[in-house]
């Protein structure tokens, strides 16, 4: 088993610099790599600021951690002594495969190459290398220092040793809010566990948004149906993460899982008009004066949302995850959702009420005309109850 001492993080935007920071905090020598010196400087300053803030609280010695940090614009030379490489660049398969190839050609033979992709195939990335057994996924949730979940994903040819290295390193990385939770993803399938579990809710959301468009209902009224259950309402969150990001992710699922995931009329129109949310200044809300704070007590509700449908969709997808052998039991799926989304998973409630939820989803999938949302065999049978 490789004793990991040197970690290289490629792509040090928001996600990458978070991964680099917790790698430093865990005691690893960490190299930040990017194609832009400006991005590297910004990341290094952010990490220094984060570490000094923690030092002021007596958590660590900032100088000791920063002494282990290096930066580089040259990927080939940066990976020469790497034990573990984690790429956190744009979600573009061609870009990722090029990086994997460069890493494979320049890193030591023992080095494990990992992708932080949230949905894409580890197996396909690994095919660009001559070390497919040493390629895995290590998927963090944003921001990495605060979100507890890390998914460690096996590609078709990933070795047990590579997976163990990924799990052990992930467990060693500190989390500033609670204990780190590492979920092993046993099959390389789109979305892995948590994003896959929540992805089909987007099919229902497309339906709701397009219904608002057809009936002339303001989008804020749909948002008011959900209210302020978390830090951000669903449409504020969509703006925050990026309408363009959601558009691309939905298309990826449509290409790899089912056509029903394809973006609806509203999301497609917003994407084409450049209304991408926070980054463009305009999405469902106006972001030009900072983050919107809609007062839902003063906004009339659309009366369209059935929360039970979201639960039934999520439970059905959880059953698909079990059917496909992506996770070993439903408790891992529930626990991973809590750690990655700060929201309960569907099974704890669903195992007591599954028959009613099957019926509800049968009715709604028919009403929406969405084939993918029909209850799968495992959900319909109830046999998942014993697959804890």
Q: Residue 189: CB partners within 8 Å, gap ≥ 6?
A: 196, 324, 326
Residue 376, classed as helix, strand or coil, is coil
Question: Does the reported pTM lie above 0.85?
Answer: yes
pLDDT in tens, 99-148: 999 999 999 999 999 999 998 999 999 999 999 999 999 999 988 999 99
Q: Is beta strand 29-33 parallel, antiparallel or unpaired with respect to 69-72?
A: parallel
Catalytic residue (choose from 17, 115, 121, 139) = 139
Quote the DSSP letter at residue 41: H
Q: What is the 3-state secondary structure (H, E, C) of 298-323?
A: HCCCCCCCCHHHHHHHHHHHHHHHHH
Specify whether 235 is located in the same domain as 371.
no
Specify whether 141 is located in the same domain as 274.
no
Q: What is the mean pLDDT of the chain?
A: 96
Catalytic residue (choose from 23, 65, 116, 118) = 118
CATH number, residue 261: 1.10.1040.10
Query: Bridge partners of 33?
Result: 10, 72
Catalytic residue (choose from 195, 206, 233, 337) = 195
pLDDT in tens, 194-241: 999 999 999 999 999 999 999 999 999 999 999 876 678 999 989 988
pLDDT of residue 231: 74
Q: Residue 182: CB partners within 8 Å, gap ≥ 6?
A: 149, 150, 151, 152, 167, 170, 171
Whole-angstrom distance, CA of residue 118 vs CA of residue 10: 15
**Domain extent at residue 274:** 196-298
Q: Is 118 a catalytic residue?
A: yes
Specify whether 203 is located in the same domain as 257.
yes
Catalytic residue (choose from 151, 206, 220, 314) = 151
Across the range 46-54, mean pLDDT stands at 97
Specify whether 374 is located in the same domain as 314.
yes
Specify whether 373 is located in the same domain as 335.
yes
Give the residue carrying structure tokens 């049968």: 362
Specify whether 11 is located in the same domain as 76.
yes
Q: Is 151 a catalytic residue?
A: yes
Is residue 66 in some structural domain? yes
Domain tally, the chain: 3
Is residue 1 in some structural domain? no
């Amino acid at each position: 088993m490789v004793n990991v001492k040197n970690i290289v993080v490629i792509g040090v935007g928001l996600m990458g610099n978070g991964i680099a920071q917790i790698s430093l905090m865990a005691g690893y020598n960490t190299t930040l790599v990017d194609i832009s010196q400006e991005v590297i400087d910004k990341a290094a300053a952010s990490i220094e600021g984060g570490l000094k803030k923690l030092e002021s609280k007596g958590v660590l010695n900032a100088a000791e951690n920063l002494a282990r940090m290096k930066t580089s614009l040259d990927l080939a030379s940066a990976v020469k002594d790497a034990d573990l490489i984690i790429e956190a660049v744009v979600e573009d398969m061609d870009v990722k495969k090029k990086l994997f190839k460069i890493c494979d050609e320049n890193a030591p033979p023992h080095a494990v190459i990992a992708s932080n992709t949230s949905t894409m195939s580890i197996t396909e990335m690994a095919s660009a290398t001559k070390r497919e057994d040493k390629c895995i996924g290590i998927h963090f949730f944003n921001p990495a220092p605060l979100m507890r979940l890390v998914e460690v994903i096996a590609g078709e040819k990933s070795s047990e040793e590579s997976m163990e290295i990924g799990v052990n390193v992930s467990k060693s990385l500190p989390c500033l809010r609670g204990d780190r939770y590492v979920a092993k993803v046993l099959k390389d399938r789109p979305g892995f566990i948590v994003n896959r579990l929540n992805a089909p809710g987007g099919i229902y959301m497309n339906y709701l948004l397009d219904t608002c468009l057809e009936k002339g209902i303001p989008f804020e009224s749909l948002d008011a149906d959900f209210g302020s259950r978390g830090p951000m309402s669903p449409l504020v969150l969509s703006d925050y993460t990026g309408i363009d990001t959601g558009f691309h992710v939905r298309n990826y699922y449509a290409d790899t899982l089912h056509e029903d995931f394809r973006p609806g009329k509203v999301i497609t129109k917003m994407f084409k008009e450049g209304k991408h949310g926070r980054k463009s200044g305009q999405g469902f809300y106006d972001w030009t004066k900072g983050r919107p704070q809609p007062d839902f007590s003063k906004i009339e509700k659309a009366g369209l949302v059935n929360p039970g449908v979201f639960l039934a969709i999520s439970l059905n997808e959880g059953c698909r995850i079990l059917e496909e052998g992506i996770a070993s039991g439903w408790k891992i799926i529930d626990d991973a959702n809590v750690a990655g989304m700060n929201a309960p998973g569907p099974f704890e409630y669903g195992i007591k009420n599954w028959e009613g939820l099957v019926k509800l989803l049968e009715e709604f999938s028919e009403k929406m005309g969405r084939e993918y949302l029909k209850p799968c065999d495992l959900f319909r049978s109830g046999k998942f109850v014993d697959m804890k």
